[in-house]
Amino acid sequence: MSDTQAECCTGPGYASPQEAIRAPREKLVYTICIYTGTGVEKPDYLATIDVDEDSPTFGQVIARTHMPIVGDELHHMGWNACSSCHSDSGMARKYLIIPGVRTTNFYIVDTATDPRNPTLFKTIDGAEIKKKTNLSAPHTVHCLGSDIIVSMLGDADGNAPGGFLHLNKDFEIMGRWENDITGMNFNYDFWYQPRHNMMVSTEWAAPNTFMPGFDLEDVGKGKYGQHIHFWDFKNKSITRTVDLGGDGLIPLEVRFHHNPDSTHGFVGAALSSNIFHWFKDENGAVHIEKVIDVESIDVADFPVPMPGLITDILVSMDDKYLYFSNWLHGDLRQYDISDPSHPVLTGQVWIGGLLGKAPQVNGRAVTGAPQMIQLSLDGKRLYVTTSLFSTWDNQFYPDMKQAGGVMVLVDCDNENGGMAINETFLVDFGQEPDGPARAHETRYPGGDCSSDIWV
Domains belonging to the chain, first-starting first, are: 132-443 (2.130.10.10)
- The pLDDT tens digits for 261-306 are 999 999 999 999 999 999 999 999 999 999 999 999 999 999 999 9
Residue 10 has what pLDDT?
52
- The pLDDT tens digits for 85-120 are 888 888 999 999 999 999 999 999 999 999 999 999
Instruction: Show Cβ contacts of residue 215 under 8 Å, excluding neighbours closer than 6 positions.
Output: none
- The pLDDT tens digits for 296-344 are 999 999 999 999 999 999 999 999 999 999 999 999 999 999 999 999 9
Nearest-angstrom CA–CA distance, 281 and 240: 16
Nearest-angstrom CA–CA distance, 407 and 446: 20
Number of C-alpha atoms within 13 angstroms, CB side, residue 1? 21
Q: Residue 305: phi, psi to the nearest 5?
A: -50, 130
Task: Answer yes or no: are the C-beta atoms of 125 and 112 closer than 8 Å.
Answer: no
Q: Give the largest CA-CA distance in the chain.
A: 58
Q: Where would I find the H helices in 292-450?
A: 390-396, 400-403
Residue 90 has what pLDDT?
86
Residue 1 has what pLDDT?
30
Residue 211 has what pLDDT?
98
Beta bridge partners of residue 76, listed in sequence order: none
Residue 6 has what pLDDT?
38
Percent of the chain with pLDDT over 70: 98
DSSP strands (E only) in 35-188: 45-50, 61-66, 78-79, 95-99, 106-110, 119-124, 136-144, 147-154, 163-168, 173-176
Residue type, 157: D
Q: Residue 391: phi, psi to the nearest 5?
A: -70, -35
Residue 445 vs residue 87, higher pLDDT: 445
Number of C-alpha atoms within 13 angstroms, CB side, residue 377? 25
pLDDT at residue 2 greater than cutoff 70 = no
Q: Residue 334: phi, psi to the nearest 5?
A: -125, 130
Q: Residue 190: phi, psi to the nearest 5?
A: -155, 160
Residue 8 has what pLDDT?
40
Q: Helix or strand or coil: residue 208?
A: helix
Q: Residue 116: phi, psi to the nearest 5?
A: -85, -5
| 9-40 core/surface letters (b: 16 or more CB in 10 A; e: else) | bbbbbbeebeebbebeebbbbbbbbbbbbbeb
- The pLDDT tens digits for 211-270 are 999 999 999 999 999 999 999 999 999 999 999 999 999 999 999 999 999 999 999 999
Nearest-angstrom CA–CA distance, 351 and 365: 10
Nearest-angstrom CA–CA distance, 366 and 360: 6
